[in-house]
Structure 1
Amino acid sequence: MASSNSPAGVDNTFRRKFDPEEYRERAREREKQDAERSKSRSKGPPVQRQPLKHRDYQVDLESRLGKTQVVTPIAPLSQQAGYFCSVCECVVKDSANYLDHINGKKHQRALGMSMRVERSSLQQVQERFEVLKKRKAPGSFTEQDLDERIRKQQEEEEERRRQRREKKKEKKKEKIAEEEPEIDPEVAEMMGFGGFGSTKKS
């Protein structure tokens, strides 16, 4: 007997039915293709990269600061506006992005380095401490260096004193010039003042 809610003769089997075995087969096929692709990409053995090292040169960010440069579209990359990376052969527009680039993975890979840092041994750390101790030792500079520094300091102090004296003289001159009122010669003549020069009669 048909229920009163569902009308007679309606097909309720419209939902799509999935075959799990078919999808398992598709997944196996896809994995096989991925494996073949990765084999074709890696022709040789994996590349062994050196651990990350600190730079042994100073990064030049200020040599072209404040300079004017004509930029043309046909100019080579090294002469275009911005910072040129000769390793990756690219131009970066500002110093912050340039630093990010040279510290980044792509640049380090081009240099043949991985992003991993080599672990230092105890002996290497101790040697580094010794080098730093010698550099900061108080007796590391000679007596001649000390004499030179004292002489330079005395010269600078003498120069500062001379400049102070010059400034005081300038201020005195300005003060005297302000205190002396300028007298118009015609007014002085009318009031009976002669010349304020010498009293000798010619």
Structure 2
Amino acid sequence: MAQPGNNAVGVDNTYRRKFNREEYAERAREREEKEDEEGRFKSKSKGPPVQRKPLKHRDYEVDLDSRLGKTQVVTPIAPLSQQAGYYCAVCECVVKDSANYLDHINGKKHQRALGMSMRVERASLEQVQNRFEILKKRKVAGSFTEQDLDERILKQQQEEEERKRQRRERKKEKKKEKAAEEETEEGDPDVAALMGFGGFGSSKK
């Protein structure tokens, strides 16, 4: 054991690391200048925010069944528009089935490519009133008079009678065919007697 009066021998752990403050201040200044330059460059390239139109309904019919039931030869080198599936010309992509195609054309990416946001335009009171007027006029123009209703009922009755008559005719034809089959099955009675068949206990003569 070391004596208390003697000098302690061992590791000197009283040393603390000292930093050069001027050097690190210079580095921080350079980093800030660099970030400012990059920020200015990004803001120039980004440009002003794009104002998108509100969402509106489609004015065309979505074609889902024009190629239904048709066969097509698919090659890996064919252009996208001629590959198997549904091709979106706006996004230049191919979707494999109709459900996913509908999801795609109703989705955010496709609507953004068309220049629309996913927000719906808020209708004013005048627009709602005008819409009601248009629907009322359409209803009046499409409503039926009593004469139209009588004609429709008469036409429906005639169609029903025609169906019943066709059913009766089919039943008569079936009965005739059944009777003809029974006659051919019975065969010639002389041949049956010659072979020893007198009958099978039926009451028919």
TM-score, shorter chain, exceeding 0.5: yes
Q: What is the letter of the counterpart of residue 76 of structure 2? A: P
* Per-residue deviation, 1:94: 1.0
Go from structure 1 to structure 2 and tell me whether the alpha carbon gap of 1:119 and 1:177 turns closer, same or farther (over 3 Å shift). Answer: same
Pair 1:133 & 2:143 matched: no
| Residue in 2 that maps onto 1:60 | 63
Post-superposition shift, 1:83? 0.7
- Any stretches of 5+ residues in structure 2 without a counterpart? 1-9, 16-20, 199-205
Q: Deviations over 1:57-101 (max 9, x none)?
A: 221111211211122233332222111112222211111111111
Residues 79-88 or 176-185, more deviating: 176-185
Deviations 1:9-64 (A, max 9, x none): 48599xxxxx9x99x87995786366235314314x32221111011122111121
1:139 to 1:73, Cα distance in 2 relative to 1, 3 A: closer
2:117 equivalent in structure 1: 114
* Structure 1 alignment gaps of length 5 or more: 1-7, 14-18, 194-202
Deviations along 1:122-155, one digit per CA (max 9) or x if unpaired, are 1111221222233334863467865764565345
Structure 2: distance between partners of 1:151 and 1:80: 52
Aligned residue among 151, 158, 161 for 2:161: 158
Check if 1:84 corresponds to 2:87.
yes
With the length of structure 2 as denominator, give the TM-score of the two structures.
0.67
Match of 1:187 in 2: 192
> Aligned in 2, Cα 1:184/1:160: closer, same or farther, shift over 3 Å?
closer
**Residues 1:41 and 2:49 are matched in the alignment:** no
Partners of 1:145 and 1:85 in 2: CA distance: 46
Residue 108 of structure 2 corresponds to residue 105 of structure 1? yes
Aligned to 1:95: 98
Letter paired with 1:183 = E
Q: Name the count of aligned residue pairs.
A: 185
How far is the alpha carbon of 1:120 from its aligned partner?
A: 0.2
In structure 2, do the counterparts of structure 1 residues 34 and 72 end up closer, same or farther at CA, with 3 Å as the change threshold? same
Name the larger-Rg structure: 2
Name the Cα RMSD after superposition: 4.0
Task: Give the AA of the match of 2:122.
Answer: R
Residue 68 of structure 2 aligns with an amino acid whose one-letter code is L
Distance 2:158 2:58 in 1: 39
Q: Contact between 1:134 and 1:140, CA under 8 Å: does it hold in 2? A: no
From 70, 74, 96, the equivalent of 2:73 is 70
- Quick one: distance in 2 between partners of 1:12 and 1:158? 115
